[in-house]
Amino acid sequence: MRCETCPHRCEVGPGQTGRCRARGWRDGDVAPLSYGRLTSLAMDPVEKKPLAAWKPGHYLLSVGSYGCNLRCPFCQNHSIAQAGAADVPWREVSPAELVALCTEARSRDPRVVGIAHTYNEPLVAWEYVRDVGMLAHEEGLANVLVSNGCAQPWVIDTLAPLVDAANIDLKGFTEDYYRWCGGDLATVKACIERLAAEPGCHLEVTCLVVPDRNDDPAQMRALAAWLAQVDPHITLHVTRYFPRWKMEGGRPTPVATVYGLADVARESLPHVVVGNC
């Protein structure tokens, strides 16, 4: 069977999973094997997602599972994002159980406003994001997506009305860079355009600056100019990279580089913030 969730369109047979390690064969079809299997559960400030212009001072119950359809050599959460079910401990939490946990947390602290799908790549089990979102909205809770945005348009169309806020990682702005990360630039751009057009969704974008890879000012200028065409009010996070996973022996992004690229982005966008500096 062929999985149609992301541009990789993996073919899987009995006992197999796709490259994301989260979707695989079940009863003659491709299913989200990681559905409801949580490896991470924490209460985070909204600002940590990062969301700079949406409900500041509030909190989100943040959840993660395992798996990712990209292979960024610098993956910041590789212990779960680049793992499968046999590689990490997880516990099953149904959408109803998760929403109940968040509702209980809100009863103790009214600053808790919703649930964030984050840490690994949520879209490899997009059905969980959908089902949690429907139940969360019934309880007056927000449903937040932190994602690489590399999913087929029909997936984003399904989720967009159920997402109240999102931060999409725009890794860079060239196809070569996306091939290095194992993704597809056109797919991510389409995701950003779709979420920006959704009336009930607040959208922000993050670009992690990796030295000698995507730190060219011309690339940042093109990225910011395109975002401004999509929505000039999008907040762009220009974020400092620290060596992780396969690039652990490298060097962090110089702080001056991050601030310089943020200034370049401000030529097109009024709302640009720096992170990890």
Q: Which of 38, 43, 44, 68 is nearest to 132 (CA)?
A: 38
195 within some domain: yes
Q: How many domains does the chain divide into?
A: 1
pLDDT at site 45: 98
Average pLDDT over residues 200-206: 98
24 within some domain: no
126 within some domain: yes
Domain range for 106 is 35-275
15 within some domain: no
pLDDT at site 125: 98
pLDDT classification of 249: cutoffs 50, 70, 90: confident
**pLDDT higher than threshold 90 for residue 259:** yes
4 within some domain: no
Average pLDDT over residues 108-133: 98
22 within some domain: no
pLDDT classification of 202: cutoffs 50, 70, 90: very high
pLDDT at site 189: 98
Question: Could you read off the pLDDT of 13-66 as tens digits, one per residue?
Answer: 999 999 999 999 999 999 999 999 999 999 999 999 999 999 999 999 999 999
172 within some domain: yes
Average pLDDT over residues 118-131: 98
13 within some domain: no
Secondary structure string (H, E, C) spanning 95-154: HHHHHHHHHHHHHHCCCEEEEEECCCCHHHHHHHHHHHHHHHHHCCCEEEEEECCCCCHH
Average pLDDT over residues 200-208: 98
% pLDDT > 90, the chain: 99
CATH number reported for the structural domain that contains residue 175 in this entry: 3.20.20.70
Question: Could you read off the pLDDT of 83-114 as tens digits, one per residue?
Answer: 999 999 999 999 999 999 999 999 999 999 99
pLDDT classification of 68: cutoffs 50, 70, 90: very high
Query: What tokens appear for 28 in the block?
Result: 């003659």
**pLDDT higher than threshold 90 for residue 213:** yes
pLDDT classification of 80: cutoffs 50, 70, 90: very high
- Quick one: CA dihedral 170, 201, 38, 241, positive or negative? positive
